[in-house]
Copies of this chain bind each other. A is one copy, B any other.
Amino acid sequence: MLVQKYKDMLGNKSVIRTLSEFATARGKEIGYENVFDYSLGNPSVPVPQEFTDTMIRLLQEKDSVELHGYSPSLGIYSVREKIAASLQRRFGVPYKAEHIFPTSGAAGAIAHAVRCVSEPGDEILTFAPYFPEYGPYINLTGAKLKVVPADTENFQINFEAFEKMLSEKVAAVLINTPNNPSGAVYSTETVRKLSEILEVKSKQYDHKIYLISDEPYREILFEGADAPYVAKYYADTLTCYSFSKSLSLPGERIGYVAVNPACEDAETLIQMCGQISRGIGHNCPSSIMQLAAAETIDLTSDLSVYETNMNILYRELKALGFTCTKPGGTFYIFPKALEDDAVAFCNKALKYDLILVPSDSFGCPGFFRMAYCIDTEKVERSLPALRRFVEQEYK
């Protein structure tokens, strides 16, 4: 028999995908260059040439049986060492290879982290606005994702709501900073306060509450952002990372879980990841990707275009009267819609060939997301359409 829970999911088409398909179809009518498609969060800047050169060199120089051979079940040791050394160098946390588990991107990292620390029936809290895929990521393990309402002022944490929801059933808290969709970066004050609450509650409930920190946008930070390295502030942190945004290779599915060495079970948790992998069939990311990512560990693509685009959009949105928190990173901006119903707002925008994503599926109604991982030239060309949209529909 087909398993009903997966069959039932087939009907639910994601809003973002529907909008993206609309954009593609409209592009066929008027030319895609004339569709101001802010729907998809796909990196738009080239992969660093050094990464490509490294791949080619590995292919040309390394023995093919060794290059493409099985990784050990915990990942290639030299790769784990290089990732640990980089984290240590950059953030001053004394990771060793034994604290690193390479994964199939951040999705794979979260799949392992969640299974390490939660049983079916446990709750995992996250904060609105949140990446909608957290729903299936968590709920399909049997644990339950609960969403803490947003701090719509600054897109930091609504601590009052959080403390109310932080019951004994909570096994872990999942955060995402820099944040998709808000573009906000949690401040040192926010991370410190979060950590203090988790410490108090872990003692009170006599079980650790783990912090799963999903950080694929870590390298896309804008001027002035106070961007603390989360694990420095809380011992029981599992950091989930992906090279998808930093190296512009989301399709290559390469990332890792890093467990804070200050966590008393750090090495055990990594070994557990190896066991979890057997059950979910990952068995490590691609060998050559592990090697190439490790050899270019501190490089990134030229990510500056995202900040350029953000500044253009932020200035324009403010000038048009939008309420909008200035993003500290990512390639997203998250303004308040000009009417309560963000779906209606985004539908009206389609008439102006503006593809905006309503915030309902991010757990924070009344806002919209623009993914500005597109050419700056197109961002600039979209401004007159944005102006027309606001003037004709809302003035």
Spell out A's residues near B (CB within 8 Å): 1-3, 6-7, 9-10, 42-47, 52, 55-56, 59-60, 63-65, 67-71, 103-105, 107-112, 115-119, 133, 136-137, 139-141, 171, 207-208, 248-254, 265, 268-269, 271-272, 275-276, 278-289
* In contact, A283 and B68 (Cβ under 8 angstroms): no
| Neighbouring B residues of A250 by C-beta, 8 Å | 68-70
* In contact, B2 and A265 (Cβ under 8 angstroms): yes
Q: Select A69's contact among B116, B251, B276, beta carbons within 8 Å.
A: B251
* In contact, B47 and A253 (Cβ under 8 angstroms): no
* In contact, A64 and B251 (Cβ under 8 angstroms): no
Give chain B nearest CB distance to A219 CB in angstroms.
16
| Neighbouring B residues of A3 by C-beta, 8 Å | 115-119, 272
- A283 (CB) vs chain B CBs: closest residue: B107
Q: Select A286's contact among B6, B265, B286, beta carbons within 8 Å.
A: B286
* In contact, B2 and A116 (Cβ under 8 angstroms): yes
The verdict on A55 contacting B59 (CB below 8 Å), with A115-B3, A116-B6, A269-B2 known, is yes
Cα–Cα distance between A9 and B278 once the two chains are bound (Å): 11
Cα–Cα distance between A44 and B66 once the two chains are bound (Å): 9
Cα–Cα distance between A3 and B140 once the two chains are bound (Å): 16
* In contact, A47 and B70 (Cβ under 8 angstroms): no
Cα–Cα distance between A136 and B276 once the two chains are bound (Å): 9
The verdict on A281 contacting B68 (CB below 8 Å), with A2-B272, A115-B3, A272-B7 known, is no
What 4 new A-B contacts, CB under 8 Å, besides A68-B250, A104-B281? A6-B276, A136-B278, A136-B279, A137-B278
Can you list 14 A-B contacts with CB-CB less than 8 angstroms, sorted by A residue number? A1-B208, A6-B116, A46-B64, A47-B67, A55-B59, A67-B251, A68-B249, A104-B283, A107-B278, A107-B281, A108-B281, A137-B281, A249-B287, A254-B286
Give chain B nearest CB distance to A289 CB in angstroms.
6
Cα–Cα distance between A275 and B208 once the two chains are bound (Å): 31
* In contact, A282 and B2 (Cβ under 8 angstroms): no
| Neighbouring B residues of A9 by C-beta, 8 Å | 272, 275
Give the top 3 A-B pairs by smallest Cβ distance, nearest first.
A140-B279, A111-B281, A251-B287
* In contact, A248 and B107 (Cβ under 8 angstroms): no
Cα–Cα distance between A119 and B10 once the two chains are bound (Å): 18
